[in-house]
Structure 1
Amino acid sequence: MFSLFLTPEQKAIREMVREFTRNEITPIANQRDRLDDFDERFPWEVMEKASGLGLRTLALSEKYGGAGADALTSCIVTEELAVGDVGVSATLGQTSALARLWFDRVMTPGQRERFLPQFLSDHRYHLATAGHEPDTDLGWCYHRQPDPQAGYKTTAVRQANGDWIINGVKNFITSAPIAKLIAVHVRAKSASGEVLGPTSLLVENGTPGLTIREHDKVGRRLGSNGELAFEDCRVPATNLLGEVGKSQFVGAPMGRRMPRFQAMNLGIGRAAYEAALDFAKMRVQGGRPIVEHQAVGMTLANMAIKLEAARSLIWQAAWAADHREAYADGSLPDLPLQGIAKVFVSEAVQQVVLDAAQIFGGMGVMRELPMQKYVRDALIFLHSEHSNDVARLRIAESLVGFERAGGMGGD
């Protein structure tokens, strides 16, 4: 099992990111969150500084210019960034995770030669993956595998010269408005109409036939999210990511991924809890700080219990993501630990931020303070990746040994 002692390197990077968050993210987050214009709201200056510290390339291997951070270290960094703002954390964390997947594991040498130098040299070079669609039937049925005919509506038709023509729409795509390279997951077809299966293609931002529209969200507003519309969008044969019929997105192990979303969510809860604790020590009612009132003290205690339990689940799932052999030898239960963390953390943090707002009283709903922002940010995680009900159904399937092939199309 993983050690509860962090390495000196992990503690050092945690302190470095904590200081960066305290000095660069927290001071601007609440004010930027209130801006309507995306170009004014998005904190490029923060993103560039974070990239300069190596946070954009954190999980990428040292061989290809990154830090080679494991899943646990990545989750520690993700939590610290999210204490300042979850949108910043989401943007950096996704690019880091996709860089590791694409450059280290999936790309051909030719693709690496084309894209890696641009990625390393440009602090604004971010990555995105486009799976979710407005009306895709992914064949979710309890205890049944997806229908082979279900799947993405977005199509890519292979041309005689090997190029692909993409048509369709993707929505709810994290970092779509800012990403310079996007892995688009499609239903591949031959020129004759034969279905070739789920396939991933790399599409550069600015490719003719691709239109990107920003989504306006109530939470995670310092991040970006958008819709991709493809109309006869041509990409070269050399942009095939992996193999035809074996989408890198659909094949991800279910419930055993790195719990990146859960670490982000924990950061929101921690920020709300720490703000509420500081306020309770300062606010005086009945002649003493309200933290000394039993009801407030017990509320804060319950918040601390939820957050510590959440972190334990996240760290266990993160360690397991890098040590999947621990499932096979019985060291870990044969359960989707990331899915378990998803349900518990999202619901625990939702309660934590509401309790924190309650401690602030009337000040909790004032836009001058970030408490209302934490409530909005936390709400998103009840439905990120997929809903908690779907996660519970997947956990229920695992209890009887049902193994579902493929993954869901979502953020």
Structure 2
Amino acid sequence: MDYDQSKIHQELRAKVRAFAQERVKPVAVEYDEKETFSVELTREMGQLGLFGIVVPKEYGGQGLDYMALVIAVEELAKVDGSQAGTLAAHNCLGVNPIYYYGTEEQRRKFLPSLCTGESVWAFGLTEPNAGSDALGVETTAHVSNNEWEINGKKTFISNGTSLVSGGITLMARTGERNGRGEISAILVPRSAGYEVERITGKMMWRASDTGKLFFNNIKVPESNILGEIGKGGRLMLETLDAGRLSIGAMGLGLAIGAYEESLAYANTRHQFGKPISSFQAVAFKLAEMAMKIEAARQLLYHAVWLKDNDKPFGKEAAMAKLFCSEVATFAATEGSQIHGAYGLVKGSLIERHFRDQRILHVGEGTSEILKLVIARKVGCKI
């Protein structure tokens, strides 16, 4: 089945591919080496209409579907994981929760600037002692004088520390219910005054913004609750389900990028008087990469189709994210082998892809958690 053959999807793919080749590729090596988060490229992505892709035009978005978002992420990921990660995190974790769960007032207040690239938004789940144990957050929020007073810290937060970071959807413990922590989501703009610290020295996505956030008696209006009090856990899980589609797109795009780079290299690199693609050992690697990429594409696009058609997609999203990450690892590993020593030198696309693929097994649910999700979805008593 051709899932993305509409004229809108084709035009979007061509537009993002051109942007990736003309604007991102020439600077990707330098930004990776210097760990440069580019405000300029981020705002250009906003101007291209890549932020707020699924948000209706009345709030400043593009009014497109999730397939459009996945296509955009995939095309960027072929060239650079950092810019693709910025795009995926801002759309799926930043913009979309406000659109899907926000009040009309919240949508009109926050979404327009987030859809243009003027600012980006973060999602605050992970803490030093909370990650896969998503309901174990220790950050607290209590109401006093019609305000939320927030204390705690978050870590490994995407789009949380740069000059264009506009704020965060914070997961916080707001009370106790039936002996368990009550988790709620609260919109906390950067202007509230929390402190930030950028995380550097990363192996992957070195040109993306990842950081630690510190909340010390930070106050925001009581009306900044996103969704219902105590329903933050459900909001979070539903957000992650959709977010897994974009991480799957990153895996697919990375795998395609590694495959295309390796095929081109194999056809031009000569040994024993022949291009190395003529040797069965290399040709079979490329054939298997192509086969697995096609399988990953079909699995991911089917999951996206389910979401766009308002059908249950949680199991398929978990499968797609898990499988696409595994295919990305396979393509980056085999591609590196095809490149030989050249694939081990900084500055090559295949070397960067080899580093970037590791995060795909961690973000939006580790591979182990995804297997747990899938096992439960298929009926295992686990």
TM over 0.5: yes
> Following TM superposition, by how much is the alpha carbon of 1:116 offset from its aligned partner in structure 2, in angstroms?
3.6
Q: Secondary structure at the match of 2:192?
A: coil
Q: Which of 264, 278, 283 in structure 1 is aligned with 2:250?
A: 264
Q: Which of 160, 165, 172 in structure 2 is aligned with 1:176?
A: 160
Q: Does 1:18 align with 2:25?
A: no
Q: Secondary structure at the match of 2:218?
A: strand
- Aligned letter for 1:296? V
> Following TM superposition, by how much is the alpha carbon of 1:318 offset from its aligned partner in structure 2, in angstroms?
0.9
Instruction: Check conservation: 1:185, 1:249, Cα contact below 8 A.
Output: no
Q: Which of 241, 246, 256 in structure 1 is aligned with 2:226?
A: 241
Higher mean Cα deviation, 125-134 or 53-62?
A: 53-62
Unaligned stretches of 5+ residues in structure 2: none
Instruction: Check conservation: 1:187, 1:195, Cα contact below 8 A.
Output: no
Higher mean Cα deviation, 243-252 or 214-223?
A: 243-252
Taking a change above 3 Å as real, the CA distance of residues 267 and 17 of structure 1, as seen in their structure-2 partners, is: same
> Following TM superposition, by how much is the alpha carbon of 1:188 offset from its aligned partner in structure 2, in angstroms?
0.6
> Following TM superposition, by how much is the alpha carbon of 1:196 offset from its aligned partner in structure 2, in angstroms?
7.6
> Following TM superposition, by how much is the alpha carbon of 1:80 offset from its aligned partner in structure 2, in angstroms?
0.3
Taking a change above 3 Å as real, the CA distance of residues 314 and 200 of structure 1, as seen in their structure-2 partners, is: same
Q: Percent identity?
A: 29
1:28-74: CA deviations, max 9, x gaps?
Answer: 111210115xxxx1122222222111112322212222111211121
Q: Does 1:213 align with 2:197?
A: yes
Q: Which of 296, 303, 323 in structure 1 is aligned with 2:282?
A: 296
Give the whole-Å Cα distance in 1 for the aligned partners of 2:218 and 2:283.
58
Taking a change above 3 Å as real, the CA distance of residues 385 and 104 of structure 1, as seen in their structure-2 partners, is: closer
1:185-233: CA deviations, max 9, x gaps?
Answer: 101139xxx988211111111423x111112211011211111111111
> Following TM superposition, by how much is the alpha carbon of 1:258 offset from its aligned partner in structure 2, in angstroms?
5.4
Q: Secondary structure at the match of 1:76?
A: helix
Q: Does 1:341 align with 2:326?
A: no
Q: Which of 123, 132, 144 in structure 1 is aligned with 2:126?
A: 132
Number of residue pairs the alignment of both structures matches: 376
Match of 1:69 in 2: 64
Taking a change above 3 Å as real, the CA distance of residues 4 and 103 of structure 1, as seen in their structure-2 partners, is: closer
Give the whole-Å Cα distance in 1 for the aligned partners of 2:23 and 2:307.
31
Q: Secondary structure at the match of 2:212?
A: strand
Give the whole-Å Cα distance in 1 for the aligned partners of 2:293 and 2:115.
35
Give the whole-Å Cα distance in 1 for the aligned partners of 2:217 and 2:5.
50
> Following TM superposition, by how much is the alpha carbon of 1:383 offset from its aligned partner in structure 2, in angstroms?
1.3
Higher mean Cα deviation, 248-257 or 87-96?
A: 248-257
- Aligned letter for 1:26? K
Q: Secondary structure at the match of 2:130?
A: coil
1:103-153: CA deviations, max 9, x gaps?
Answer: 5332223323432444356x331011101111138768xxxxxxxxx6321
Q: Does 1:312 align with 2:291?
A: no
More helix by share: 2
1:154-188: CA deviations, max 9, x gaps?
Answer: 100111x2201111111111111132121001011
Q: Structure 2-normalised TM-score?
A: 0.91
Q: Secondary structure at the match of 1:200?
A: strand
Give the whole-Å Cα distance in 2 for the aligned partners of 1:137 and 1:7.
38
- Aligned letter for 2:149? I
Q: Secondary structure at the match of 2:136?
A: coil
- Aligned letter for 2:256? R
Taking a change above 3 Å as real, the CA distance of residues 252 and 372 of structure 1, as seen in their structure-2 partners, is: same
Give the whole-Å Cα distance in 1 for the aligned partners of 2:131 and 2:92.
27
Match of 2:105 in 1: 110
Q: Does 1:198 align with 2:183?
A: yes
- Aligned letter for 2:250? M
Give the whole-Å Cα distance in 2 for the aligned partners of 1:116 and 1:60.
9
- Aligned letter for 1:226? G
Give the whole-Å Cα distance in 2 for the aligned partners of 1:197 and 1:4.
40
Give the whole-Å Cα distance in 2 for the aligned partners of 1:155 and 1:268.
38
- Aligned letter for 1:389? E
1:390-411: CA deviations, max 9, x gaps?
Answer: 2112211122177x9xxxxxxx
Q: Does 1:151 align with 2:118?
A: no
Give the whole-Å Cα distance in 1 for the aligned partners of 2:133 and 2:119.
35
> Following TM superposition, by how much is the alpha carbon of 1:255 offset from its aligned partner in structure 2, in angstroms?
4.8
Q: Structure 1-normalised TM-score?
A: 0.85
Q: Which of 75, 84, 87 in structure 2 is aligned with 1:89?
A: 84
Give the whole-Å Cα distance in 2 for the aligned partners of 1:302 and 1:90.
26
